[in-house]
Amino acid sequence: MPLACGYTVGPPRGPKPSRALARLGLAAPSLGRPGGRLEHRTATTGPSTPSDTVSPPRGSRGFSLIELLVVVAMIAIAAATVSLSLRDPAAAQLEREAERLVALFETARAESRAGGLNVQWTPVELAGSADQFRFVGLPARIQLPRRWLAEAVNVEIVNARSVRLGPEPMIGAQQLRLRLGNQQLTLSTDGLAPFEISHNSHAP
């Protein structure tokens, strides 16, 4: 219909909105019933398939922290097993003897202080004797071991013939050496602390 100003009313020029949205992959908004919401629909070219989902390539996953810790623990256990298998049996036996003797010393010291008894430890060098060492001064009710676990342990008490174990808490600095084959260990105390084991080089 012509207007007075010389313009005519007609359909808008240019591409229709629906065609322009279709080129962009969008659908024109459809109006629902009055008062409803505008619904926007995305144009799809076909049904979606699992291949459309982006997933990380297989085989590219790294190691987890737990897996690394398990590997490190297995390597440590294998190294410890190899080192123990290569260790001199005499050295292991002598170390067990030293640890056992230290425990016996501490037991005798505790009994000596509790009963006010003068207790000493001395090796037995008499041929044919069933005992290899003795705890002198303990009551008869306390029976501590008197033999070594191994048969060829040699003992040298430095500057003394026996080891004093009480009854005083301060028993004085003392030292003794244990030898088994070509292995040697030293047991020593400052007189107040328990006996400690120190590793020495091979015995001459």
Q: List C-alpha distances in Å: 3 to 11, 12, 33.
A: 15, 17, 35
For 114-135, how does the pLDDT look when each residue is reduced to its tens digit (9 = 90+)?
999 999 999 998 878 889 999 9
Tell me how long the chain is. 204
**pLDDT value at residue 143:** 93
Q: Rounded to two decimals, what is the model's pTM? A: 0.58
Tell me the average pLDDT across 4-8: 49
Q: List C-alpha distances in Å: 79 to 42, 66, 82, 92, 199.
A: 64, 20, 5, 17, 22
For 52-91, how does the pLDDT look when each residue is reduced to its tens digit (9 = 90+)?
555 555 555 677 888 888 888 889 888 777 665 655 688 9
Contact 93, 150 (CB under 8 A): yes
**pLDDT value at residue 166:** 94
* Confidence bin at 3 (pLDDT 50/70/90): very low
Which residue segments constitute the domains of the chain, with CATH numbers given? Answer: 89-199 (3.55.40)
